[in-house]
Amino acid sequence: MNAKACATSDRARNWESIDWNKALSDVKKLQMRIVKAQKEGKYNKVNSLQYLLTNSFYAKALAVKRVTENQGKKTPGVDGELWLTSEAKFKAISRMKRRGYKPMPLKRIYIPKSNGKKRPLSIPTMLDRAMQTLYKFSLEPIAETVADPNSYGFRPKRRTQDAIEQCFTSLNKGKSPKWVLEGDIKGCFDNISHRWMMNNIPMDKEILRKWLKSGYIETQKLFPTEKGSPQGSPISPVISNMVLDGLEIVLKERFSKKKVNGKYHFPKVNFIRYADDFIVTGESRELLEYEVKPLIKEFLRVRGLELSEEKTFITHLHDGFDFLGVNIRMYDGKLLTKPSKKNYEAIIKKIRNIIKDNPSMKQELLIRKLNPIIRGWVNFQKFNVSAKAFEKLDYEIWQSLWSWCKRRHPKKGRRWVAKKYFHTIGNRTWSFSVPTRDKMENGEDFFIRLIYATNTDIKRFTKIKAAANAFDQEWEDYFVEREEKLMRNEIKGRRIISKLWNDQKGHCTHCNGKITLETDFRIYQFGLDNKVKQLVHPDCYEKLKTQKNEKELAL
C-alpha cells in the first residue's frame, strides 16, 4: 500500500503534473467499494478501505485542491498559514499524516444572522481543513448509504428544490395530510453530544476525538470544546447529517398503517429534512402535538439536542408555511409553492443596495454585477409559481435603475436618459443594456443587457429518486443522465453558453473534466480582441487568467 502511494508521488513531481482526472477516478472507485462493503455488512472491510483512502496520495492531493480552491482559500486559521502557491500545495500533501497529527484550536468569529443575532463560525487551519476533507472522503459514502431517504441538505447531488418538490408530492393530493409540524433544532451544530458521536460515527476514533476536543481561540484566549461539531469545518455537515439520520425511519415504524376495526388507518406522517430544518406532516394537530413531537424530542435528547420551541410550529395547509425560501399553501383546494415574502424581500433589498451603492459605476459593470444575482434567484424560484413575483421583481429593479440613471444626469431630460441607457431588443422596448463593438451574425449590434426574470420559463422540478446514492455504482448511469438533463435545462436560452457546452461535449477545455451544475463554469476569452471563447471550470478559469496575465507582463 505504501509502495503504491510512493509510486504515485514519484509520477507527480510537482503540483502541475498531478493527473486530476485519475485522482478523481481512483478516489471514486474506493468510495464505491466502501458503499458495496457497507451494504453487504462487511464492516471490517469498510474500515480497511477507509484506511486505504485516507492514506492515498491522490485522495490527499484532492483534499488539498478542495481547500485551496473554495471561497475560504484566503481565510487563515490561528496559525495564519495559507497555501497560495503550487509549491505550498504540493508540500502540504506530504504533511497529511495520521501519526503525530495534532489539530490546532479553531479560530472563532461571529457572522450576523437575519434575526439580528450572531452565529459562531469556527475556522480550522489549512492543514486541519485538508485533513477533515480527506476523512470526509472516507465517511461520506457510508453517510449516504445509511442516510434518511428524504434528507436533502449537505448531500452530494441533492438540492434545495428536491426537498421542496418532496413537500409538494407529500401534500398535493386530495387525501394528503393537511397539518404540518415545522421543526427547528436549537443550536444544532453547537450542542451535539460528543459521547454520541464517538460511539456512533464510523470513522477513525482517535482522529475524531482530536477534532472534537481541539478547542477554539476567541479574544486571544483558549476555550475548551465540550460539545458540538463546529460550523466552518469541512466534515461537520456530514457528521451532523449522520447525527439526525434515523429520525425518518423511527417515525415510519411508529406511524405505519394500522388495522382498526377491520379497516386500515393511515396516520399520513411524512418526513422531509434539509440540514437541521425539517417538516413532519400529519392527519391532525393532535397527532403532531401529542404523538409525533414527543417522539422527536426523545430522539434528539439522546443526541444532546432539543427542539426550539419558539421556532417550532404546527400549521394547517390553508394558512401555509415557509420552508427553504418558499411558501407552501393550499388555495381553494389546490397546493401552490410560491417565493416566500421574506425570500423576495431579501433579494430585492440586495439588488437595491448594489444599485444605490454604485452611483458612478459604468453601466456595463453594473449589469455584470447584477446579472449573476438575478439569475441565481430566478433559477432557484423558476420551479415554483413565480410569474407574479418575477413581474414584480422586474418592475422594482426598473424603478431602482431609472432612479440611478436620473441621478447621474440631473440636467438631462427623461427622453435623453431613456435613449442612453435603455434599448429595444426583441420585443422588449425598455431593456437596460449597452451596445458593444461586436456585431451579431445578421449585422445588428450586440448588447450586454440586464437579465429579466419574466424571460425565464417556469416549470416543475424533477426530484431526485429518494434511494439514489451518489457513491453507489448501481446509480452511476442514473446520475450521468440526470446531471446532463439538469445542465441542459439550466443553459437553455443562454445562446453562447449552450453552444460552447455542446461544441465541447460538456467538457472543460483546460482539464477535460465534466462541466456540470455542481462544478459550475465560466467563459474564458482570449485571442485577438478576446473573440475566442471557451467554457471552463471556475478554478481552471483562474489558472488561465493568471497565465494570460503573466504572458502579457513578460511581453
Give pLDDT, residue 444: 54
Buried b or exposed e, range 228-266, using 16+ CB within 10 angstroms:
bbbbbbbbbbbbbbbbbbebbeebeeebeeeeeeeeeee
Three-class HEC string of 172-187:
CCCCCCCEEEEEEECC
Q: What is the pLDDT of residues 415-455, one digit of tens each?
A: 999 999 999 888 888 999 998 766 544 445 578 899 999 99
The residue among 116 and 544 whose pLDDT is bigger is: 544
DSSP-derived secondary structure for 404-417: HHHHH-TTS-HHHH
Q: What is the pLDDT of residues 186-212, one digit of tens each?
A: 988 889 999 999 999 999 999 999 999
Gyration radius of the chain over CA positions: 26
Task: Look up residue 285 and give its amino acid.
Answer: R
Give pLDDT, residue 35: 98
User: In the predicted model, is pLDDT for residue 142 greater than 90?
Assistant: yes
Q: In 188-284, where does DSSP find H-type helix?
A: 188-191, 194-200, 205-212, 236-244, 247-254
% of residues, the chain, pLDDT over 70? 94
Confidence of residue 5 (pLDDT cuts 50, 70, 90): very low
Strands (E), 225-333: 258-260, 263-265, 271-274, 277-282, 313-316, 321-323, 326-331
SS3 of residue 465 by DSSP: coil
Domains of the chain: 15-105+118-145 (no CATH), 147-192+227-337 (3.30.70.270), 341-455 (no CATH), 473-554 (no CATH)
CA distance 40 to 46: 10
